[in-house]
Amino acid sequence: MDRKRIDGLPPWVLTPKEEKEVFENWKTTTYKACDDDVKKFADCAASSGYSAWFKCRKQSKVMRDCIASRQATKYVDDERDKYIQEKIRLLQEQGKIQPTPDSDAEHPTSSYSWWKRERNP
């Protein structure tokens, strides 16, 4: 996590560099969650050589389905929330922001709840 803070921005606003780091964290988490499926495909491909495209279709599909299932916005938002909470904690430790009485409570913008709420026309 890059600790440089742009003055004037609230801690829950992420810079493009931080968004990239969130995406990398999400990618790492996704591959860890699908590690067994990726390993099965890699083992099949290693033992099949050039015919892996044909022999390993089942393993390939299972691996792709696992990764695709983790591409939902929910998982990226979860990583974003973790990043923001860590950023707030570090800023509080450094004394750059003051802890609030409800700092243990979930932030109101967590998981973009403000975006998901029902809108009245």
Q: Looking at the domain assignment, is residue 15 inside a domain?
A: no
The answer to whether residue 64 is domain-embedded is: yes
The reported pLDDT for the residue numbered 114 is 47
Domain count, the chain: 1
Prediction pTM value: 0.59
Residue 37 lies in a domain: yes
Q: How far is CA 1 from CA 4, 37, 83, 101, in A?
A: 9, 29, 8, 25
10-residue mean pLDDT series, the chain (121 residues)? 59 85 91 93 91 90 93 89 90 77 51 51 49
Range of the domain at 50: 33-95
Asked if residue 10 is part of any domain, the answer here is no
Does residue 119 belong to any structural domain of this protein? Answer: no
Cβ atoms of 6 and 16 closer than 8 Å: no
